[in-house]
Amino acid sequence: MSEILDLVGIFVFALTGALMGVRKRLDVVGMGVLAEMTALGGGIVRDLILNVRPAAFQSLGYVLVPVAATVIVFYWHPHVARVMPVILVLDAAGLGLFSAVGTAKALEYGLSPLHATVLGVTTAVGGGVIRDVLAGAIPTLLYDRQLYAVPALLGSAVMAGLSTAGLHGWPATLAAAVLAFGLRITAMRRGWRAPVAKGAEDPAA
């Protein structure tokens, strides 16, 4: 079940990466690279820091799912763009899931709650950072429009806190993921965003 949820999250993240490729007018190879990096980049960075073989290289599905997402976007990107609101909701769910799961894995390998929280955020947003850098955009992590990194931080911190309190397993993971998901969805609907320095120009303006 956990692998199925992972693959769903990877698929949704890969769709956003491939759509970025369309917006940047990249060819199919560029779209595929962005899809793979968005979907797998955060988990690969996490596992390399933990000094373990990345999960992406232990299952063929982890690599093939982003390829499938790229093909879908390549041929039907206007239709995919029309259902973007649904994709954003699924993306928020993936964000919450990956932040909680990433933190839990870091804790399993003996990291402190603080370091595990940082690695949980890395798992959730690292692929998006790699995507944005490759595409020449301001990384979401550095310009948290409509709160993206903050929900990931909430999910990771809650997961670390629950684990410290002796609560483990899927109930703790679900609780942390749902809280991150709820904050992300609320931020999207209400237009919340992290503050910028007084008098600074909005880079998206």
pLDDT tens per residue, range 12-59: 899 989 999 999 999 999 999 999 999 999 999 999 999 999 988 888
Specify if 202 maps to a domain. no
User: Looking at per-residue confidence, does 108 or 198 come out higher?
Assistant: 108
Q: Among 39-53, 75-89, 96-110, 151-165, which stretch is predicted with the lowest mean pLDDT? A: 75-89
Among 83-92, 113-122, 182-191, the range with the most confident prediction by mean pLDDT is 113-122
Specify if 181 maps to a domain. yes
Q: What is the mean pLDDT of the chain?
A: 89
> How many domains does the chain contain in total?
1
User: Looking at per-residue confidence, does 72 or 2 come out higher?
Assistant: 72
The pLDDT confidence band at residue 129, using thresholds 50, 70 and 90, is very high
pLDDT of residue 145: 65
pLDDT of residue 200: 67
CA separation for the pair 106, 115 (Å, rounded):
8
Of residues 117, 115, 100, the one with CA closest to residue 174: 100
pLDDT of residue 2: 59
Q: What is the mean pLDDT of residues 53-78?
A: 92
Token code pair at residue 191: 């237009």
Specify if 203 maps to a domain. no
Token code pair at residue 109: 């390998």
CA separation for the pair 31, 14 (Å, rounded):
9
Please check the confidence at residue 201 and state whether its pLDDT lies above 70: no
pLDDT of residue 8: 84
What range defines the domain where residue 183 resides? 2-190
Specify if 37 maps to a domain. yes
pLDDT of residue 148: 87
Specify if 195 maps to a domain. no
Query: How far is residue 69 from each of residues 29, 72, 146, measured CA to CA in Å?
Result: 13, 5, 25
In one-letter notation, the amino acid at residue 139 is: P
pLDDT of residue 90: 85
pLDDT of residue 204: 56
* pTM of structure: 0.87
Specify if 110 maps to a domain. yes
Q: What is the mean pLDDT of residues 170-195?
A: 90
